[in-house]
């Protein structure tokens, strides 16, 4: 009887309200079960949080007829669910973050907090982000040279690669444009023949240091490869407290061949993780270890303690017990290599 009564009391709070309450117990389930989840991280003691609540609720009511699983408006008490707030770096209230297919988007909402603005933001997020073309001239005319653009060439829209590109485009809609050319006859020389993998190229903006088109050489049939989710998740999980001492960047290995050569690596070894201290480059030995709890954090802390620098010059530290010593690092070719203009930059974001 008690279990039945508890269920009866809980259901109206979820079904009748346009803004559902999420906690540490149901947060992950909620963001995984819905395409879009717009979360208001609030604190009861915060005056601005109290001011936003009725506005957030009124805006959510404009989406009450959305299809199930499409869009959910949610609120989370950051004080009572500090583990979730900490995981997503919420340290001010109210904070509004959008989750798409279980992943937090790159930018939190920081625009006007009116009913109209919040509704317009969600409507914008629901728009299709990939422009599709069946004529080469139309694609070229629509391309904006002032924006970074990914262009995919596909025989049809049924491939895994096409679906992966659509998902990635949703996350990077604010940073890049995404365009697709469909049909081998419509794009001769661009669309690979049937049976071959589709083609993807990155066209940097005309503001970039090197505006030349860059072919994507990786396997974009694998979503995690196309979207650096694995790397981003590891950073959030392992080193959220190191953001002031380390800038975490993602670079295209086909562009940054020079840093790879410093590490004794080539494009065939991608993906790789390394720390560039601007004195030396230190290699994270096995990329798959990024999934081992504590490994990435240990790597960063070894930089701060001086261990990476010490082992770079003198080989691995002595080991105790039955632990096998690490293999020697490859000889440094740092002095033999001249600096290259394609250094890391956050100005034109050419490495994205």
Residues 36-78 have pLDDT tens digits of 999 999 999 999 999 999 999 999 999 998 888 999 999 999 9
Of the pLDDT bands very low, low, confident and very high (cuts 50, 70, 90), residue 346 is very low
pLDDT band with cut points at 50, 70 and 90 for residue 352: very low
Residue 298 is encoded by which pair of tokens? 């240990």
Q: Reduce the DSSP state of residue 309 to 3 states and report it.
A: helix
Average pLDDT, the chain: 81
Backbone angles phi, psi at 113, to 5 degrees: -105, 55
Q: How confident is the model at residue 227 (pLDDT cuts 50, 70, 90)?
A: low
- CA quadruple 291, 295, 301, 307: dihedral sign: negative
d(CA 234, CA 295): 10
Which segments within 47-176 are labelled E, that is strand? 71-77, 95-100, 103-104, 130-133, 149-154
- Assess whether pLDDT exceeds 80 at residue 235: no
- Beta-strand ranges (E) seen in the chain are 19-21, 36-42, 71-77, 95-100, 103-104, 130-133, 149-154, 177-182, 199-203, 214-215, 273-276, 281-284
Q: What is the pLDDT of residue 228?
A: 59
Non-local CB neighbours of 143 within 8 Å, separated by 6+ positions: 149, 151, 177, 179, 203
Of 2-6, 49-53, 66-70, 201-205, the range with the highest mean pLDDT is: 49-53
Residue 232 or 215, more confident: 215
CA atoms within 13 A on the CB side of 185: 0
Q: What is the pLDDT of residue 244?
A: 65
Q: Could you tell me the pLDDT band of residue 1, with boundaries at 50, 70 and 90? A: very low
pTM over 0.85, yes/no: no
| pLDDT number for residue 247 | 75
* 331/329 Cα distance (integer angstroms): 6
Domains, in order of start, for the chain: 20-126 (3.40.30.10), 130-228 (3.40.30.10), 256-346 (3.40.30.10)
């Amino acid at each position: 009887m008690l279990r039945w009564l508890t269920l009866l009391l809980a259901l109206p709070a979820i079904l009748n309200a346009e803004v559902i309450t999420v906690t540490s117990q149901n947060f992950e389930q909620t963001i995984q079960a819905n395409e879009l989840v717009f979360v208001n991280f609030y604190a009861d003691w915060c005056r601005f949080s109290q001011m936003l609540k009725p506005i957030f609720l009124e805006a959510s009511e404009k989406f009450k007829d959305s299809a199930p699983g499409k869009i959910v408006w949610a609120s989370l008490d950051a004080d009572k669910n500090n583990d979730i707030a900490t995981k997503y770096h919420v340290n001010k209230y109210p904070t509004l973050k959008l989750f798409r297919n279980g992943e937090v988007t790159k930018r939190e909402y920081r625009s006007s907090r009116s009913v109209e603005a919040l509704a317009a933001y969600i409507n914008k997020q629901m728009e299709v982000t990939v422009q599709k073309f069946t004529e080469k001239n139309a694609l070229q005319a629509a391309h904006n040279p002032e924006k970074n653009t990914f262009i995919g060439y596909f025989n049809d829209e049924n491939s895994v690669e096409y679906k992966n590109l659509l998902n990635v485009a949703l996350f990077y809609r604010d940073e890049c444009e995404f365009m697709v050319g469909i049909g081998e006859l419509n794009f001769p020389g661009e669309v690979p023949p049937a049976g071959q993998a589709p083609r993807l190229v990155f066209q940097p903006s005309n503001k970039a240091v090197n505006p030349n088109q860059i072919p994507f050489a990786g396997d974009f049939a694998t979503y995690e490869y196309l979207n650096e989710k694995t790397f981003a998740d590891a950073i959030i999980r392992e080193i959220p407290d190191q953001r002031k001492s380390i800038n975490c960047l993602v670079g295209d290995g086909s562009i940054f061949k020079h840093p790879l050569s410093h590490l004794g690596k080539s494009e065939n070894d991608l993906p790789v993780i390394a720390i560039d201290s601007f004195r030396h480059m230190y290699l994270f030995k096995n990329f798959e270890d990024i999934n081992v709890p504590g490994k990435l954090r240990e790597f960063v802390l070894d930089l701060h303690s001086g261990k990476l620098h010490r082992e770079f010059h003198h080989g691995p530290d002595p080991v105790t017990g039955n632990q096998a010593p690490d293999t020697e690092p490859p000889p440094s070719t740092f002095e033999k290599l001249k600096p290259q203009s394609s250094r890391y930059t956050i100005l034109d974001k050419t490495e994205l």
